Amino acid sequence: MKRARWLAVFPLTLSVVFLIAAQRRSSQAAAPEPGDDWPVYGHDPGGMRYSPLTEINRKNVSQLKVAWTFHTGDVSDGSGFKQRSGFETTPILVDGTLYFSTPFNRVIALDPATGQQRWAYDPKIDPTWDYGDGLVNRGVATWLDPVAAPSASCRRHIFETTIDARLIALDAATGQPCADFGEKGEVSLREVPRYHNGWYHMTSPPAVVDDVVVVGSAINDNNRVEMPSGVVRGYDVRTGKLRWKWDPIPPNAPDASSKPFGQTWWSGAGNAWSIMSVDPERHLVFVPTGSASPDFYGGARLGDDKWADSVVALRAQTGEMAWGFQLVHHNLWDFDTACPPLLATLEHGGRKVPVVIQGNKTGFLYVLDRDRGKPVFPVEERPVPQSTVPGEQTSPTQPEPVAPPAIGRQQMTADDAWGLTPSDRETCRKAVSSLWNPGLFAPPSLQGTLNIPGSIGSLNWGGYAFDPRSSLLFVNNNNIPYIVKLISRAQMSEARMHGPRGEYASQIGAPYGMYRNVLFSPSGLPCSPQPWGQMSAVDMKTGKIRWQVPLGSMRDVTTNCALCHGSGTPGTTPPPPSANAPKLSEGSGSLSLGGPIVTAGGLVFVAGTIDPHIRAFDAKTGKELWQAELPASGHATPMTYRLPDGKQYLVIAAGGHPKVREEKQSDSLVAFTLP
């Protein structure tokens, strides 16, 4: 009764109050949301590649249009003694500026709204050295000096590691080298055992944590037994002084049981060539390591070869190893730990567990406790096929996770063989039948071994993205079969001259050279069943695959021979197809090199395919909602950001790949936004 009288006495007052509140709500809804940066390669230091942005979402993603395109001018087709280039960079956005690296290692700063250049720095690399990866660089890193004055020179550093093995620090405001860092802004990274120009290089951005900038290295595959050391090093962010170093393979480790050449155990590499992640709270850097040298024969490096082919947690201040977990023992397949470690928190066993999610080229996903490196989902040591090659000693078991299931195909029989025509299928069936094929981890042989996935991997450096709200992990993979064959030293010259086209590698210092190739049909397409590339969503709470769909298409491979390569890279050259040759459907799936990102708008963005497109998938269902054609294939990982005016952008590097001979090459950094 009293309440009713109160309402009756003050009707006008209440109306005014409600009107003012409504106006405030309307004003707040119309106000632009704050900007959101992309400050490191994976958006956050742990590399989840999750963006909280929602302006671009399921309802409007189909309206995305090109906002601007920037041309770097840095592209090489491999002629004139230069290496061939690819454009694999993922830009970062900090302090209202977009920073990225080019295939020639130039660092460029852009206006993120217009794509206009603010500055560029050229380290003047030599493009003619024998870089095993071609001319590529995947990005830069940054560090802000918390004690420097706002106007101080080099208050914010931009770090780049170059393909000719230098660590460079630039002033983010001007692009000039930081004079107090190393020698006039750079530190030589060539002071490693067995260094050789070109063989030892850098392709991925460094990691920054606890005022330390951490660098790995890329080392050419299959060249010889004794390759450069895969040492990981930490440098002071201000001075460039070496703070620590950690070698995944201890040099010349004594082992009386492993002297096939009258020497102690010997090798090289085991290097960290992919992207590292950091945990600032735990003061840890997580390092993915690759194969020991040479990749396909391990008679000179008997044993597990720790800590090659592992994920390792190092203490950021000292380089001391906190823990390590090896994903492949005594690697004979080039099954590197290529994926970046991803740091997340999962609900498991009724509690929240900080984890490291680590993928491998095998297609396996390992979920490890972040503090101890122990498996969260069980991992079993399972027996694997044993080598018949004299001098080789295969590991008797390999660690295989019980969950999640493998991403992609790991076995293929003659009955599985695929072909565009009945003749193609029969040729593939006979080829599969002629190869040693006992399944995953079948070692290289003298007769020829079928490996699926092959050395390009089911998963590669593109990695994955994680949505912390749904606990879904989004990952793209390849289903491409390979032939691998060991060739005695005495027969290598004859094999190079008269053998099938593909990659022949000397593996100097070993008794065997190596041949490998994609297993192609006469039409130039893989002999494995479609799809050749997929996008998957994995529920990391349950360890089950939620959905899986084809990614991209290779329907033009028979005309532009995108997988065809000469000596030194996988591939072969099939005969040109006839004019009336049958065509693939759009959903064949494609080889993809480059990774996904996920947003709070319910979208997974990914490029990476041979067909030059970037796509958006519904994160809940896997339905493709949008695609846009690019100037060339976008073999890179995209990124997204929102400027203070509330506008969200999506950016992808589109330039092609140095080892995939596609029809188009480009130098384009492309930004999309809503009209």
Indicate the pLDDT class of residue 26, thresholds 50, 70 and 90. very low
Indicate the pLDDT class of residue 267, thresholds 50, 70 and 90. confident
Kindly report which listed range (24-28, 62-66, 624-628, 637-641) carries the lowest average pLDDT score.
24-28
Beta strands 321-326 and 342-348, pairing class: unpaired
Residue type, 586: E
- Say if residues 186 and 162 touch (Cβ distance below 8 Å): no
- The pTM score is 0.91
- Written as six digits, the tokens of 389 are 């090659």
Q: What is the pLDDT of residues 410-442, one digit of tens each?
A: 999 999 999 999 999 999 999 999 999 999 999
Beta strands 92-94 and 207-209, pairing class: unpaired
For residue 416, the tally of other CB atoms under 10 A from its CB is 16
DSSP element (H, E) containing 423: helix 422-434
- Rg (the chain; Cα; Å): 26
The string of DSSP codes covering 202-271 is --S--EEETTEEEE--EE-SSSBSSPPB--EEEEETTT--EEEEE-SS-TT---TT--TTSS-S---B--
pLDDT of res. 28: 39
Query: Higher-confidence residue: 670 or 16?
Result: 670
Integer angstrom CA distances of residue 260 from 64, 257, 269, 391, 506: 61, 9, 20, 7, 18
Scanning the structure block, which residue is given the tokens 């099954």? 335
Angstrom distance (rounded) from CA 450 to CA 437:
5
Task: Tell me which residue of 561, 560, 620, 624 sits closest to 587, measured CA to CA.
Answer: 624
- Written as six digits, the tokens of 646 are 């509330």
pLDDT of res. 587: 78
- Written as six digits, the tokens of 373 are 């490196």
- Written as six digits, the tokens of 635 are 């073999």
Q: What is the pLDDT of residues 151-164, one digit of tens each?
A: 999 999 999 999 99
User: In sequence order, what are the beta bridge partners of 229?
Assistant: 269
- Is pLDDT of 573 > 80? no
Kindly report which listed range (54-58, 258-262, 294-298, 646-650) carries the lowest average pLDDT score.
258-262
- Written as six digits, the tokens of 634 are 């976008």
Residues marked active site are found at: 334
pLDDT of res. 349: 87
* Alpha-carbon dihedral 397, 591, 661, 486, rounded to 10 degrees: 20
3-state secondary structure of 17: helix
DSSP state of 508: B
How many residues make up the chain in this entry? 675
- Is pLDDT of 258 > 60? no
Task: Tell me which residue of 324, 318, 321, 346 sits closest to 337, measured CA to CA.
Answer: 324
3-state secondary structure of 557: helix
To the nearest 10 degrees (0 to 180), the angle between helices 11-30 and 2-9 is: 70
Angstrom distance (rounded) from CA 374 to CA 204:
27
Angstrom distance (rounded) from CA 362 to CA 534:
15
Classify each residue of 355-383 as buried b or exposed e, where b means 16 or more C-beta atoms within 10 Å of its C-beta: bbbbbbbbbbbbbbbbbebebbbebeeee
pLDDT of res. 329: 97
DSSP element (H, E) containing 500: none
**What is the torsional sign of CA 487, 492, 494, 498?**
positive
Q: What is the pLDDT of residues 108-133, one digit of tens each?
A: 999 999 999 999 999 999 999 999 88
The CATH architecture one would assign to domain 38-55+73-673 is 8 Propeller (2.140)
- Is pLDDT of 15 > 70? no
Integer angstrom CA distances of residue 261 from 258, 390, 443, 489: 9, 13, 21, 15
Question: How confident is the model over 66-87, as a mean pLDDT?
Answer: 94
Angstrom distance (rounded) from CA 210 to CA 207:
10
The number of helix segments (H) and strand segments (E) in the chain equals 5, 40
**What is the torsional sign of CA 574, 576, 579, 583?**
positive
- Written as six digits, the tokens of 498 are 């008269």
Q: What is the pLDDT of residues 320-366, one digit of tens each?
A: 999 999 999 999 999 999 999 999 999 998 899 999 999 999 999 99
Angstrom distance (rounded) from CA 591 to CA 611:
9
Integer angstrom CA distances of residue 120 from 88, 95, 96, 605: 18, 17, 16, 28
3-state secondary structure of 492: helix
